[in-house]
Structure formats: structure tokens, C-alpha cells
Amino acid sequence: MKRRDFLKLSAATAGVTLIPAYTVQAQEEQLSPDDPQAKALAYVEVSETEGQQCRNCIHAKGDLEAEWVGCNLFPGKQVKAEGWCKVWAARG
């Protein structure tokens, strides 16, 4: 493989790996406390339980310093990092 072809392939590969990650993040909607599943788990956007927030829950994922984080219980949605629900569990 020529150096020029290698550089073209590298650039194409980098685009393929970065664009889908950005797209997935952009498509995640913010979970509403009015969502039926959120209501079932008593989800709130501001925790009233000291020391327990979504950002330090074992089910949270992604950038835990962000305002909104991913949650394994709500695939495709983001929860408020300061939020809480009744299945909160401490991160190991």
C-alpha cells in the first residue's frame, strides 16, 4: 500500500469511528419525570436523598461530570446528573 493510499484510508476510518459516536450522543433525549417508567421508579431531576445522585449511581454511564448522564435503566435517554430514582445503588 502506498503512503498516500494509507493516509486516505486512515482519514476515512477516523471519520467512520467518530461520526457514529457523536450521532448516538446527539440522539439521546432527556428523560422526563412524567415518563411512565420514570414515574414507576420515582425518578426526580433533583435528588432529595443526601449523598445519592444519578452521577454516583452504579447504573449511570458516560461523562459523570456532565449535567446529563446515561443510565442503564433508560436506554437511549439521559438522566439529570443531580437526579435520583428508587433503584439508586452506590458505585463500587
Cβ neighbour number for residue 45 with a 10 Å cutoff: 17
Residue 81 found at the interface with ligand SF4 (CB under 6 A): no
Which grid cell sits at 36? 411512565
String marking each residue 2-41 x if it binds ligand SF4 according to CB under 6 A = ----------------------------------------
Amino acid at 24: V
Which grid cell sits at 40? 414507576
Q: Which of 44, 59, 62, 77 binds ligand SF4 (CB under 6 A)?
A: 59
- Block residue for cell numbers 493516509: 7
Phi-psi category of 66—alpha, beta or left, where left has phi over 0 and alpha has psi -120 to 50?
A: beta
Q: Which is nearer to ligand SF4, 8 or 61 (CB)?
A: 61
Residue 43 found at the interface with ligand SF4 (CB under 6 A): yes
User: Given the rule CB under 6 A, which residues bind ligand SF4?
Assistant: 43, 54, 57, 59-60, 71, 73, 79, 83-85, 87-88
